[in-house]
Amino acid sequence: MNISFSEEFQTTTITGAVTNCNGTPLTKGYVFVDQYNTISITDGIINIGLQHCMITTTQIQIFDFETSQWTISNEITLNGETINLGLLSTCEDVGGIFNGDVTLTSQTEVNEFGQFSFISVNGDLRIADDAGDIVDLTPLESLTIITGLIRVFSNET
**Is 107 found in the same domain as 82?**
no
**Is 50 found in the same domain as 119?**
no
Q: How many CB atoms lie within 10 A of CB 1?
A: 2
Per-residue DSSP letter, 155: -
The C-alpha atoms of residue 42 and residue 65 are separated, in whole angstroms, by 11
Residue 53 sits at the vertex; the CA angle it makes with 52 and 54, to the nearest 5 degrees, is 100
**Which tens digit of pLDDT belongs to each residue from 16-55?**
999 988 889 999 999 988 778 889 999 999 999 999 888 9
Question: What's the whole-number average pLDDT of the chain?
Answer: 85
pTM of the shown model:
0.60
The C-alpha atoms of residue 97 and residue 118 are separated, in whole angstroms, by 6
Residue 3 lies in a domain: no
Residue with the bigger pLDDT between 129 and 107: it is 107
Domain boundary among 89, 115, 137: 89
Domain that holds residue 143: 97-153
Checking if the pLDDT of 3 tops 80, the result is no
Nearest to 85, CA basis, from 61, 105, 101: 61
